[in-house]
């Protein structure tokens, strides 16, 4: 990622940072009197690239595995255990039933990762879940974490019934709640009563350590936690955990901008920013706008959804997005803004433009996150505003076929996660997994952006493919720029931190279709080796 020295055979490290890059003699000039460089050839069989940067993931990618996985795709948990995907509703129910029998009486049954868009069966409803739980509350979180389905007991605990008139509480033709709950306002009352606590799943010591494992196995040395509900006490704990030499990654949380006034959120973010350390970088904020495209809760411009579904849900209404953007800009806080549908992108760009007009801030470097439906016109505006984009390229493989057939139709699916358009417009890009929505693995994510192949094997939007070099840039220096950490990480250059991914083969030398198959053997963080498995090879 350093054009001045794109390849080298040796790198010298001192005090956790890169002292020199070049050949075996690159450090010789730096020896002090009587102190020769120590040569270490333990990684000589492997390829080092800059430590991968996951610019949009969530720390619950570790702790969520405390709950049983109910998704369609085969997945591997942080301990390396494979979980088989469930290909029909009957197996989802049967597997949950088996787990229900093992639970203590006072515990709710909670599954996660469910993906109805892949199932040909009838829609999951409370009646299915009533058969499992009886008196026990049951909740199944969808893979996008924007929707869930619960049983009658859980509905009753939240006080949802036919009298309820709340957006996101889905009802059947007879006016009874079906059990499906869409987006945060409808989901939170149930989550609170069932003790489903994203904070507990992400900010405790075991959850954080598991997240560190997830990062290391993916070759990631810097990872985000992009909707943190961190308190001051959480920050104390996270500072301790990450400072431990055994913790293998730098973590960049962004404070979730919800549930408080813009002024209060800005004040908390500024206080947190003061506490940043080498391995915990605080101070950014995350704004939510719309929902999820595959859940039909994203806000999509005309002609909206091909199935005629209602046009999505605002988690934060447009006026509040404007108010938040103005306050954050005024307070000098970098914003990451969730935008899935193109109507949500438009509102976010408008809000950032208004904020920039009132409080000019060159290189504020706000980042639109997901940007799945953004068109060329919107990328041009981002370029003018200095706004970066982080594209959800994994969607092309995981949901591309479904988007073409069931959500936004062929034309707009072809230009989803339009990396080529963004780069051509002069916008800096990153690419992400949004783990645990899809598994963390930046080389897989890069493969998606380069090949744009869907699960059925078709190429979705040939014109939006990018080169291997561009994709590798996006998962290292590009992502580092979205986090304003490019001074420190993202390339192997003198003065930067000695953070590397250890790979079995050179991604620039293999076929573009093989990018996703490259083995990650571990990482180097601050000059210390963290093998994915012992021993390294
Ligand atoms: Zn996310």
Ligand 1 center from residue 31 Cα (angstroms): 46
How confident is the model at residue 121, as a pLDDT? 78
Q: Which residue has the higher pLDDT, 349 or 135?
A: 349
How confident is the model at residue 535, as a pLDDT? 74
Ligand 1 center from residue 198 Cα (angstroms): 13
Ligand 1 center from residue 454 Cα (angstroms): 21
CA distance 334 to 266: 10
Strand partners, 21: 11
CA distance 414 to 459: 9
Residue 290: both structure tokens together: 């719309």
CA distance 66 to 103: 13
pLDDT-based confidence at residue 31 (cuts at 50, 70, 90): confident
Is the model's pLDDT at 36 over the cut of 90? Answer: no
- In this predicted model, what pLDDT tens digit does every residue of 250-305 receive, in sequence order? 999 999 999 999 999 999 999 999 999 999 999 999 999 999 999 999 999 999 99
- Across the range 504-519, mean pLDDT stands at 96
pLDDT-based confidence at residue 33 (cuts at 50, 70, 90): low
- Across the range 203-224, mean pLDDT stands at 96
- Across the range 510-531, mean pLDDT stands at 97
Q: Where are the beta strands (DSSP E) in 240-322?
A: 250-256, 284-288
Ligand 1 center from residue 370 Cα (angstroms): 8
Ligand 1 center from residue 309 Cα (angstroms): 23
How confident is the model at residue 537, as a pLDDT? 58
Ligand 1 center from residue 61 Cα (angstroms): 11
Q: Which helix (H) or strand (E) holds 132?
A: helix 126-133
- Across the range 135-155, mean pLDDT stands at 95
Ligand 1 center from residue 382 Cα (angstroms): 20
Ligand 1 center from residue 303 Cα (angstroms): 26
- Across the range 63-77, mean pLDDT stands at 95
How confident is the model at residue 35, as a pLDDT? 75
pLDDT-based confidence at residue 216 (cuts at 50, 70, 90): very high
How confident is the model at residue 120, as a pLDDT? 82
**155 vs 197, 210, 490, 512, CA distance in Å?**
18, 32, 47, 49
CA distance 258 to 317: 11
Ligand 1 center from residue 298 Cα (angstroms): 13
Average pLDDT, the chain: 96
How confident is the model at residue 37, as a pLDDT? 86
Ligand 1 center from residue 76 Cα (angstroms): 19
Ligand 1 center from residue 527 Cα (angstroms): 30
Ligand 1 center from residue 58 Cα (angstroms): 6
Ligand 1 center from residue 56 Cα (angstroms): 6
Whether the CB-CB separation of 343 and 374 falls below 8 Å is answered with no
Ligand 1 center from residue 286 Cα (angstroms): 10
Ligand 1 center from residue 57 Cα (angstroms): 6
How confident is the model at residue 366, as a pLDDT? 98
- Across the range 352-369, mean pLDDT stands at 98
pLDDT-based confidence at residue 122 (cuts at 50, 70, 90): confident
- Across the range 319-341, mean pLDDT stands at 98
Global pTM reads 0.96
CA distance 472 to 27: 27
How confident is the model at residue 134, as a pLDDT? 75
Whether the CB-CB separation of 163 and 76 falls below 8 Å is answered with no
Ligand 1 center from residue 175 Cα (angstroms): 32
Going by their DSSP bridges, the two strands 177-182 and 220-228 should be labelled as unpaired
- In this predicted model, what pLDDT tens digit does every residue of 415-444 receive, in sequence order? 999 999 999 999 999 999 999 999 999 999
Ligand 1 center from residue 337 Cα (angstroms): 10
Q: Which helix (H) or strand (E) holds 318?
A: helix 318-330
How confident is the model at residue 536, as a pLDDT? 73
3-state secondary structure of 134: coil
- In this predicted model, what pLDDT tens digit does every residue of 179-200 receive, in sequence order? 999 999 999 999 999 999 888 8
Ligand 1 center from residue 434 Cα (angstroms): 5
**172 vs 139, 176, 177, 179, CA distance in Å?**
18, 5, 6, 9
């Amino acid at each position: 990622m350093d054009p001045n020295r794109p390849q080298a055979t040796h790198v010298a490290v001192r005090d956790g940072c890169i002292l020199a890059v070049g050949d075996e003699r690159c450090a010789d000039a730096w020896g002090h009197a009587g102190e020769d460089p120590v040569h270490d050839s333990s990684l000589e069989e492997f390829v080092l690239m800059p430590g991968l940067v996951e610019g949009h993931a969530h720390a619950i990618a570790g702790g969520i595995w405390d709950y049983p996985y109910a998704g369609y795709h085969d997945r591997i948990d942080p301990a390396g255990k494979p979980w088989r995907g469930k290909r029909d509703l009957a197996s989802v129910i049967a597997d949950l039933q088996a787990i229900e029998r093992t639970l203590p009486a006072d515990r709710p049954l909670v599954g996660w990762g469910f993906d109805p868009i892949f199932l040909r069966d009838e829609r999951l409803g409370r009646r299915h879940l009533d058969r499992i739980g009886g008196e026990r509350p049951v909740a199944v979180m969808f893979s996008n974490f924007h929707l869930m389905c619960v049983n009658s007991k859980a509905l009753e605990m939240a006080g949802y019934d036919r009298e309820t008139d709340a957006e996101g509480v889905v009802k059947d033709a007879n006016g009874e709640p079906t059990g499906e709950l869409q987006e945060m306002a409808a989901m939170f009352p149930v989550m609170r009563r069932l003790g489903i606590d994203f904070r507990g799943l992400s900010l405790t010591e075991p959850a954080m350590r598991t997240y560190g494992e997830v990062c290391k196995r993916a070759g990631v040395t810097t990872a985000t936690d992009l909707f943190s509900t961190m308190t001051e006490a959480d920050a104390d704990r996270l500072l301790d955990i990450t400072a431990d030499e055994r913790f293998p990654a730098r973590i960049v949380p962004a404070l979730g901008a919800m549930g408080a006034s813009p002024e209060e959120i800005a004040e908390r973010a500024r206080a947190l920013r003061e506490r940043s350390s080498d391995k915990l970088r605080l101070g950014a904020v995350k704004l939510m706008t719309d929902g999820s495209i595959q859940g039909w809760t994203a806000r999509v411009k005309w002609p909206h959804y091909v199935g005629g579904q209602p046009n999505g849900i605002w988690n934060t209404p447009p006026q509040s997005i404007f108010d938040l953007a103005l306050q954050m800009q005024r307070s000098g806080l970098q914003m990451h803004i969730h935008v899935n549908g193109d109507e949500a992108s438009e509102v976010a760009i408008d809000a950032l433009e208004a904020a920039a007009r009132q409080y000019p801030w060159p290189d504020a470097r706000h980042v639109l996150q997901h940007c799945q439906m953004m068109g060329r016109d919107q990328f041009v505006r981002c370029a003018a505003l200095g706004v970066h984009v982080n594209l959800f390229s994994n969607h092309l493989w995981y949901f591309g076929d479904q988007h073409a057939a069931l959500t936004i139709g062929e034309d707009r699916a072809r230009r989803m996660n339009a990396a080529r358009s963004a780069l051509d417009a002069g916008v800096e890009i990153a690419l992400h997994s949004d783990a645990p929505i899809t598994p963390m693995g930046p080389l897989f994510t890069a493969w998606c952006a380069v090949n744009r192949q869907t699960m059925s094997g078709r190429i979705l939007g040939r014109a939006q493919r990018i080169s291997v070099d561009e994709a590798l840039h996006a998962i290292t220096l590009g992502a580092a720029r979205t986090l304003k950490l490019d001074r420190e990480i993202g390339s192997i250059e003198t003065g930067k931190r000695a953070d590397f991914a250890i790979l079995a083969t050179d991604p620039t030398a293999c076929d573009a279709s093989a990018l996703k198959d490259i083995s990650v053997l571990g990482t180097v963080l601050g000059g210390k080796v963290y093998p994915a498995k012992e021993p390294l090879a």
